[in-house]
Structure 1
Amino acid sequence: MKYYKYLLLIGVLVLVRCRSNVASVYDFPKPVDTHSQSIVMQDKRLYKADDVSADNRFDGARLNNFFQVDDQTFQVDIFPENTPINPSPWYSFKIWSDNPRQLDLILNYDSVPHRYQPWLSNNGIDWSMMDSTKIEMLSENKVKIHLQLARDTLWVSAQELVNSERVRTWCLDVSRHAAVHFDVVGKSLLGKDIYRLRIGEGIEQKKPTIIILSRQHPPEVTGYFAMQAFIDEILKDNPVSNAFREKYEVLVYPLMNPDGVDLGHWRHNAGGIDLNRDWAYYRQPETRTVANDIVKKLHKERSKVILGLDFHSTWYDIFYTNIPQTKSLTDFKDFWIYSVKESIQDSILERASEPLTPVSKSWFYEQFNAVGITYEIGDGTSRPYIKEKGETTAREMMKLLLYKD
C-alpha cells in the first residue's frame, strides 16, 4: 500500500510540475474566438504594364494587383489577408520603369480608408517619408501619389520595411552586449523562429522580471522602433542602467508575429487571428509559445513578473493601462507617466480600463498580478521623438524600480 501511495505522490508532483510550466487559461468577461481562420495568400509575382514593373517578391511585401489605367496613371490594389479586420492597410512593393518617366499611382484599398503616408527608398534600407504635396486623396479608400521613376528600383511602403530577417540582425547585434543572451524559443505556425532576448547580469535566480513584447501586429513599426530605443537605454553603460541590470531581468520577445510580418499582413498571423486577442486560451502557436516560455522560465528561476510592456502603433501616442492596482508596484504607472511627462516636457495620454478582454496587458495582470501597459506610438510620430521617448521611458522606469524601496 505504501508503494502505491508513493507512486501516487510522485504522479501528483509530476503533474504539478508540468502544470507550473504552462500558462493558465482565463475566461475573460469579453471573450474573443481565436480559432484559426482561413487567409488569402497574395500572388507573389512580377507585374508589368506598359514599360512599368511592380514586384512583391520579398518578405514584408503587400501588393495584390497592378495595372494601367491610362497613359499617365497606374493602380495597385491593396487587400487584407482576411476579414473582418482592423483598418491597417499595409502595403510594400518595388516599382520601376524601363524608361525615365513621371506617373500617377493610385493606391486602392477597396472598402478601407487610407491610413499610412508612403515611405520611399532606393535600397529598402534607408527611407524617407513622401512629400505630402505629391499625395492626393481621391476618395476615402483611394489615394493618388505622384512618382518619378527610372530603371533603378524604387521601394514604396506604408512604413519602413522591418521584416523578420532585419529583426534577427538587430537581435544578433544587441546580443554582442555581455548582458544579453539571444535564444529561439519556438516556431510560428509557418515554422519561423520566435526570438527571445534575456537581459540581466549576475545570478538569474529570484530576480524581479520585466516582460517586453513587440510586433503582434505586423504594420506597427513605430512601436517596434520605440522598443528598440527602450532596450538600447537599458543596455547603456551608466550608473542607472548598470545597477538595473544587476537587480532586474528583462525578457524581450521582439517579433511576436513573424509570419504576419513577412507575409505583409495588415493585422493577423498565418492563422488569420489577431494575436493580441489570444491571451486567454493561447490557441495560436505564437502566443502559446511565448506565454509558456515566460511561465516556465520564471518557475525555473523562482522569479516573478512585476511589469509587462507591449509595444504597438496606432493613430497617436497613448498608454493603455489597467485600472486595478497591483500589490508589488502600487502607483507605479502614475509615477512613471508623470516622470516621463516631466522629462520630455510633453503631454502624455493614458486610458485606463478594466482587464476585460484577452489582450496582453490584461494577461500580465491576471497571470502575474503585474502591471500591464500597452505602449502605443503614433503612425506618423517623428523618428527622433520615438527614440527620445523610448529612451526616456526606459530611463524613468529603471530609476523608479531601483529607488522604489
Structure 2
Amino acid sequence: MMNYKYLLFATLILTSCRGVQYLARQAAPGATYAETIDTKSKPITFQTKKIYHTPFGVSATNQFDGARLCDFIAINDSTYRIVSTPENEPINPSPWYAFKIWSDIPREVTLVFDYGDFAHRYFPKTSSDGHHWMAIDSAQIDSIDGKTTARFFLTKDTTWIVAQELYTEAELRSWMNALQAAHPQTVDYGIAGKTKLGRDLYYMDLGEKKAKHKDLIILLSRQHPPEVTGQFALKAFIDGLFDSPALAEAFFKRHNVLVFPMMNPDGVALGHWRHNVGGIDLNRDWAVYNQPETRVITDFINHYTYKNRNRVVLGLDFHSTWSDVYYTNLSDSASVIPNFTKQWIDSIKSGLEGYQPRVAPSALRQPVSKNWFYVHFKAVGITYEIGDDTPRDFIDKKGRWTAKKMMEILME
C-alpha cells in the first residue's frame, strides 16, 4: 500500500513549484492492485448523426443527446431494422438504443433490433415528448432465434423509443438547480473539470459551507452511460438526506457529502454502451488515471480532502446491472468505520418489507472505485447496483431509506 503521508508531502512540493498537482497523479501505476488493466485510450466508432428516410414514408433519427441508432433499414413497408453497434470492443453486453421515429400515415410497424453478436437487454420504453416514459406492453415484443422484435403504432407525430429513460446532462442540471433552490444553505454545485470532449464534469458539495475537519462521504454515478437506474438511485439517496430536517441538520454538522453525479457525460450524450470517448471502462481506471474523467475526479477529491483535512469514511458508487446487489469488499474491519457494511445492510432490511439485500463481497484485486476508496483512504467502499427493471418507485423508496440508515449509523 502506498504511503499516504508521503503523497501529501509530494503534493505540497508540486503545488509550490508548478501549480496545483493533486494527490491522485502521484499514485504508482497499478502498485496497489493485484490485477492491472490497460486503460490507455483506444479508438472508438462514432455514429453518424442524421435523419434516416425510407421509401415507405417511415423515418427515424438519432439527432439528440443520448441517442444511439447506427443504421435504420427498411426490410419492407411494415418491417424495419434498428441497428446499434458498440463504440468499440471488447465491451460489456449493454446494447443501448434510443431514437425518434414517425410515419407519414398511421400504421403498425415491426422493428427488428440488431446488435450484431450481442443479445437484446433493455425492455423498450416510449414517450411522446422525451420526458415522460412508459414501458411497452409485453405482448408487443417477441424474441425468436436470438433476435428481438417489437411492434409499434406510428403516426406523423414523433415517438421516442429508448432502452431506458433518457437522463442526460440537461436533466441533471435541472435536478441540481431544484435541489439547490430547495436547500440553498446546504447544497452547492460546480464544475470539477472537463471530459475528453470538453463537457463539464459536475460536482455537488452537500453540507455546511465550512467543510474543514468533517468526515466525508463520496458518491459517484454514471461511469457507464446505460446505467440509468443507478442514476435514479443516486438521486433518491441524495433526496433522502433531506427527508428528516432534524436528522439532516445534525448530520451535516459533522459530515459533508461530495458527489460526482455523472462521471461519463460524453458517453451519455453519445449513447455509448459502456465506455468513455477514450474507449475505456472508467471503472477500471482507478489506478493510473489515464482517462481525463477519472484523473479530474480523483484530483478533485484529493485536493478537497487535503485542503479541508477531511477523513473519508465511505464511498458509494451507483450502477445498474441485471438485479439489485451490493458489491462490497471482503471485510471492512480495518477501515476507518469498522463493520459499517454489515450494520448498514442489516438496517436496510428493517424498513423495506419483503426485501432481502443481496451482497457480493470481493477482494481488492481490480482498480475499481470501491477498492480505490479503501486503498487510498481506508474508507468503506461499496458499489450500489440497481436492476435494469427494478420498479422506479422502489428505487426511490430504497434510495431514501438507505440514505437515512447511513446517516443514523454514522451519527452513532
Q: Which position in structure 1 is the counterpart of 2:229?
A: 222
Structure 1's unaligned 5+ residue stretches are 1-9
Equivalences, count: 393
Residue number in structure 2 paired with 1:333: 341
Alignment of 1:4-403 (within 5 A): 14-15=13-14, 21-23=22-24, 24-25=27-28, 26-27=30-31, 28-49=33-54, 50-140=56-146, 142-176=147-181, 177-178=183-184, 179-201=186-208, 203-325=210-332, 326-345=334-353, 346-403=355-412
Question: Which residue identity lines up with residue 333 of structure 1 in the other structure?
Answer: T
- Matching residue's letter, 2:139: T
Measured in 2, the distance between the counterparts of 1:400 and 1:156 equals: 42
Tell me by how many angstroms 1:214 deviates: 0.3
Higher mean C-alpha deviation, range 163-172 or range 97-106: 163-172
Query: What CA distance in whole angstroms lies between the structure 2 residues aligned with 1:156 and 1:139?
Result: 23
Alpha-carbon separation, structure 1, partners of 2:245 and 2:13: 44
Q: CA deviation at 1:219?
A: 0.2
Alpha-carbon spacing, 1:11–1:399, altered in 2? closer, same or farther (3 Å):
closer
How far apart, CA to CA, are the structure 2 residues paired with 1:12 and 1:247?
A: 26
Q: By how many angstroms is 1:16 displaced?
A: 7.7
Q: Are the counterparts in 2 of residues 38 and 272 from structure 1 also a CA contact under 8 Å?
A: yes
User: Counterpart of 1:5?
Assistant: none
Q: Deviations over 1:346-378 (max 9, x none)?
A: 100001011100000010010111000000000
SS in 2 for 1:340: helix
- Pick closer, same or farther for the CA change 1:288–1:11 going to 2, 3 Å: closer
Contact 1:20–1:295 (Cα < 8 Å) also in 2: no
1:294-349 alpha-carbon deviations (Å, 9 max, x no partner): 00000000111100000000000000001132342111000000000121121000
Q: For 2:210 and 2:164, how far apart are their aligned partners in 1? A: 40
Per-residue CA shift, 1:92-143, capped at 9, x if unaligned? Answer: 0000001111111111111001100001000000001111110000232x21
Under a length normalisation based on structure 1, what TM-score does the superposition of the two structures give? 0.94
**Distance across 2 between alignment mates of 1:76 and 1:250:** 42
Paired residue secondary structure (1:344): coil
Offset of residue 184 of structure 1:
0.4
Can you list the C-alpha shifts for 1:16-62, whole angstroms capped at 9, x where unaligned?
A: 87798321344211111000000000010000111101000001000
Distance apart, 1:166 and its partner CA: 1.5
Identity %: 46
What is the root-mean-square deviation of aligned Cα atoms in Å? 1.6
237-246 or 47-56, larger mean C-alpha shift: 237-246
| Cross-structure match for 2:6 | none
How many angstroms apart in 2 are the aligned matches of 1:322 and 1:11?
29
**Hey, what does 1:6 align to over in structure 2?**
none
Measured after TM superposition, the shift of residue 234 of structure 1 is 0.8
Please say if residues 223 and 377 of structure 1, whose CA atoms lie closer than 8 Å, have aligned partners that are also in contact: yes
Give the C-alpha shift of residue 165 in structure 1. 1.7
Residue 167 of structure 1 aligns to a residue in which SS?
A: helix
Q: CA separation of 1:11/1:365 partners in 2, compared to 1, >3 Å: closer, same or farther?
A: closer
CA distance 1:159–1:242, shift in 2 (3 Å): same
Return the offset for 1:242: 1.9
Tell me the secondary structure at the aligned position of residue 384 of structure 2.
strand
Letter in 1 for 2:341: K
Equivalent position SS for 2:351:
helix
Q: Distance in 2 between matches of 1:200 and 1:83?
A: 41
SS at match of 1:175: helix
Once residues 207 and 63 of structure 2 are traced to their aligned partners in structure 1, the CA distance between those partners, rounded to angstroms, is: 39
Q: Distance in 1 between matches of 2:120 and 2:130?
A: 22
Where in structure 1 do 4 or more consecutive aligned residues deviate above 3 Å?
Answer: 10-13, 15-20
Q: Distance in 2 between matches of 1:356 and 1:122?
A: 45
The 2-side partners of 1:58 and 1:12 are apart by: 42
Deviation per CA, 1:164-188: give whole Å up to 9, x if none. 1211222222222220111101000
